[in-house]
Amino acid sequence: MVFKKKFLIVVAAAVLAFISAFAFYQIQEKDVVIRLDNHNLSQDAYRMKFKAGTSLAEVVTKTRKSTLKDVQLHFQTQQKNVTYFYGKGNFATPPMISGNFFSQASFVSDVPTAVVGKNLEKQLYKPQAQAYIKIKGNYIPVIGIMGSKYHSELDKQIFIAVAPENLVQKKANAYHVLIDGKNRLEKADIKRAFHPRSFRHVSYGTFIIAKRTWIKEHSTQVLILVGVVVGYLILLLIWFFTSRKNFQQLRFLNDDRQRFVFQEWEFYTLFIGLGLVLGTIVGMMIYSMTSYSWLLIFNGGGMLIDSLFFLWILNVRVKRW
């Protein structure tokens, strides 16, 4: 009976740890879709507004002359799915199905080029090897198709790389001007580089896909993780329930209470920890993630809190005898 209890505790803890790995994998998948919905901009992007008369060419020139590294500028039109794009350094790029994304040469070329979402591929005009997309009567060469296994707003987006000389007539205040960095941008750096009339930090909940919150977007996964926490508490209660004979023996024999507390806590922590490690390892092997940090923090921290909670309850219970 004792062996069976310990084995079941290990298995149950492993299952809970595996479920937590699945939940964090789902969170990562959802975060990827949210980023793609927002045209591959991170949650740390900024929206800038400039004084009247400022052209997009001036904004690009300021970016070139600034000390900012690995940044991208999005000039979003009223069409919503058309964005003029400028990148500096090693900026983040969206997933590609075919072709290439823009290089630095794209931003100095006299000929504008485009990268389009996968949903627009069938709309391209392809007389020979080179494909084109028609925008306002002009045929723009397409150098790549964006997309991934997920369905997102990026699938119907058009990015256009234009040399600054061709942006002189386009006024900044007629566009949503967004800037994002491969690394988090500091407000002081943006102010120093652009001297905008105003700028603010924007998140995916406000600038493209409206009214989103992290909890709302990940409500299912949050409930799963809450369920995992409840599961560990249930395992704790099961251990106490199945250890009644040990408690009765302690009262009958008047055994060393501190030694009893330590042994119970030691065994509980050992078997819970063993199951947690096994479940986490299996989860990490099955679900590929860009980072396992939060999974390890959740399971490691959860085990520590659960173990200390068990020890506290055990001490309280023993002292009452």
Q: Which residues pair with 88 in a beta bridge?
A: 71
C-alpha 30/C-alpha 46 separation (Å) is: 22
Position 279 confidence tier, pLDDT thresholds 50, 70, 90: very high
29-41 b/e with 16+ CB inside 10 Å = b? ebbbbbbbbbbbb
pTM, two decimal places: 0.69
- What string of DSSP letters covers 151-192? --GGGG-EEEE--GGGGTTSBGGGSEEEEEESSPPPHHHHHH
- For range 74-102, the mean pLDDT: 90
**One-letter amino acid for residue 315 of the chain:** N
User: What's the chain's average pLDDT?
Assistant: 86
Q: Render pLDDT for 21-77 as a digit per residue (tens, 0 to 9).
A: 999 999 988 887 877 878 888 888 999 999 999 999 999 999 999 999 999 999 988
Residues 250 and 257 sit within 8 Å (Cβ to Cβ): yes
Looking at the DSSP assignment, which residues form a beta bridge with residue 135? Answer: 138
Segment among 151-160, 219-228, 254-263 with least mean pLDDT: 254-263
- 219-242 and 257-286 helices, crossing angle to 10°: 150
pLDDT at 2: 58
Q: Residues 159-214: pLDDT tens digits? A: 999 888 888 889 998 999 999 998 889 999 999 999 999 998 876 444 444 445 66
pLDDT for position 272:
92
**Taking Cα atoms as reference points, which of 139, 109, 114, 112 lies closest to residue 127?**
139
Alpha-carbon distance of 182 to 34, in angstroms, equals 17
Give the mean pLDDT of 125-142: 90
Contact 182, 64 (CB under 8 A): no
Residue 310 has pLDDT above 60, yes or no: yes
Axis-axis angle for helices 187-194, 56-65 (nearest 10):
120
Question: In the chain, helix, strand, coil percent, each to 5?
Answer: 55, 20, 30
pLDDT of residue 207: 45
CA distances from 128 to 131, 141, 159, 207, 287 (A): 7, 12, 22, 39, 42
Contact 50, 197 (CB under 8 A): yes
Give the single-character DSSP code of 107. Answer: G
Helix, strand or coil, per DSSP, at residue 127: coil
Query: Measured in Å, how far apart are the chain's first and last C-alpha atoms?
Result: 26
From residue 279, give the alpha-carbon distance in Å to each of 14, 90, 110, 267, 307. 4, 38, 56, 18, 17
